[in-house]
Chain A
């Protein structure tokens, strides 16, 4: 895991610096000209004139003592810029994931159990729309609906004062971003359930007189949920992509939107630390999913 993270850090660091343009170019963009001497001075001040390995060494050395450097844009410590934003995105991501699992999993089971009925067709159409609607468009439609019919707009204006306000504020964007994931989970649960329900042991359980609920939820779902768990893990990692758009449209000051801004501004300290954090979270989620396999399927046993 450590080696993976080191590899990722090198790739991020080098790729960022291979991108054309740097913060000095951006700074001069707002001044409407480029002065080579003044630009060189800024690059020197920020250490961008140093060889890439030296810059990497400085970053790593800082990371070891929890010094993430300074944001080039705000000239504030990167930790102060990132610190307050991480919990916002984490809460939004957790809500979105919760939404997708809460809706995707049971609806997938219902679709499988009620296969080829009106309900199944309706839910499949909804899930297809979830997969095909771009999240930015869906988010804008939601905003327009609110403004047109309710005369209000559910965007972030000020920090929420309590947990309830927070839940209300984040639930709509979380639903917007979680809709796609829930559709994916629903479809996968449905197909996985259908596959399991054709197995011999289900037929045996049915012939022994087990109730529908017992068959569906005790025998079938437990076995069908394994591939779904993998997808949930992958979706959790991919959620950051969806959150970029959602945070932008709903004006939520989280790290996803901040990351895009930092990339556009070539704010290296922010981007490299943030991408490292995302990499770390992704690696951890994958690790947790692997552990969960063993819990869900006793046949899977990891070597000592």
Chain B
């Protein structure tokens, strides 16, 4: 098996020459250019160990000779030392070295000398001059207890090497490498010390521990100078940068999934100030950290396999603009004498500046977003004023309560160049809302009255003379509706109006009809449709919808306006205001989360920006665009907080935002795949994890995996995911959750929507649905109409349901239970055209139930030849089903000493099945289920048995072909076994995915088979 791809915990990061990032992703060393975001190089360094650290020394005076760059990479007990030239030379075999103990840190004293600190506080100094390294000296400070962390630091002035050691209990030991003398034993931390480093100048020590504090110490005196409190869990890593005459910054990463920026000042406070919290990793744990001090870029690597890039000096970048104005500043600049209680009521961004209006009807301009200028005063707009600006034209529409409308046009200097004053009372008595819409280079405004009886007016505005060129009356449905968003599908000429109470109206603009052609009330569970983005280029009418409550949907309408939800999910927390389809295909959301405004990349799952603005209830605007040259998303965010107007505009960024996308933030519990409807060379892969999310992506036969969407429908950690066919899959988890998903394809991505869900049996469900299986049901015309589902529970219950696609209903047919133990596996199987279910449980037994006789009133089993799927043919004239029980089992046979953790079946012939089981007892068993000739009996016989097929629990068995299986275990072994006659190992492999729990074998045809292995990470191998 050949490793192709690996996503997993990123345990080591190192900035190289202020241009590249070296990362340790599992056993692989990867090199990224963080300005372009390109991955430059990748190579597996160790067979068994993950990379935990990377250091280098560059002896190039000036020039770029790769053989003058020496690199040390370590992880666990493994160490490898090589030059950059050797690394790049794939014919050069990288050495595998070690010092017989866990390595915490390495430091090059010079090109030929390396110091290695191990976890028993011993430093080995070696010579790297010759091909074979040579041990020169081992040093200790007479204190050999176990360490959790430690670094070596060379003083830039004196050249003295200091060992900074973090113990498992409270202590930080600082000792001199040369003399072995302990300089300080710092004991003010509580619990294990997870990181201790020196400031680059060697004057300060920074440490963190189990007590969730960061501590800064004076290196000379050992005095504790400051504490940094803020992280919500253990802190794993630290980096010091920006050292100046007044202080320095600390960048920290933690179990709480955040990284944080802190400032320490030499004089003054005994607290580190927390400047910024960076979110963007998912699940749990940000393990690794690095800083490019010259360009002020931070890097973090998480358990989610993501490498996030943080701009540590975003406010100093070219083009950045941040400012806030108190009301009195605006009064001073404009010369307006605001009266008591006068407020800035509304503002809009017309592309060159802001137009704002006060509660007294005073209009003003924020020229170039810098300088406030008065514009005019108009009492018609006091207290209530609607202000809306077009996205791409510097044209603003103003409305009063009584229907006065102003259309204003500005030039680049923010001068008002044209103004059209329209008395707009023809259609209604009062104006309640204006929504703008711009398409095909035309400008449209939608005017709405608060009176439910009055119609909506949809007018086109001439951008030259600012007059209305056309208007269309859109009648409102009789119920109370409150408009919130608008979207236009230019291909179909449909206008979509989003309203409160999750209501969507569709008007056809090409005909003369005033009534909506479709009304969808309570379209989904939610409240206000906050944005509508139609995919104009799509063949069928398709649109994105966001709901302010935090859900989003991708919906497709047929020509008859029958709809289908292709994609539904929600953000982790917060309110959604809008959606951006970025130029690179990523979907970006923005909205509010507790006290902040955020923009979030949903495709790649990271936060782009966050501004603490006080929360959602305020005046705000978010203007975004794609930078023409860099293709990066740029934005301007303006908001009012405590009557101050604040503005933030993002400047030019030095680096990309993300280097590796990663996958799940916690252990992957199951993986399944289906064939893609289009494209032979691609499979759709769905993974589910302990982090409660499901993810969908595509896998190519070369092992390339791309993540498309993430789903947060489950509230408990995933247990099992299996496909029914290429269109439908089912996922199950604790809290008795079992969801049926329909897979489709839209906006260039594979997506899923919930099709049905199995209602839990209890109001407060606490049962885990451990496993399930399905068998398809067809009607007389051989059309698929539904499926039979068997589900197995943690309380030993076994249930069989019938699901019908047309009614989206699960009907319980059989409700029974096995014994009192937890069932781990359930499978349908067919022998001689008869249907059985097979279960495997914690008591080590496999149990076979004959369900054929129970269901034969309703179904006939068809198919069952090798390679042909068994299906159930629904019998005509079916009466209402009555609840039945399974009856006595046919077989209940102990196979393993304890839990059956892995189970696979291979149909050999219609009356013969090979059964493979793997257990907590390390055993692998091949047995045969078959019908006794001329009898109704089914027997199980053990064919071969290996009591120690792994050194730990066997968690997954997958058939590669009729004779070969892939067996994965918690000891991280991945073995291919030949199951004919005696069990024989065909191939031994090893995965760095810890907590190895699930696998899948994907057949691409042409002898290309890939193995997917999930656990604390995800690996793809070619078999």
Binding between chains A and B: no
Q: Which residues of B contact A (CB under 8 A)?
A: none
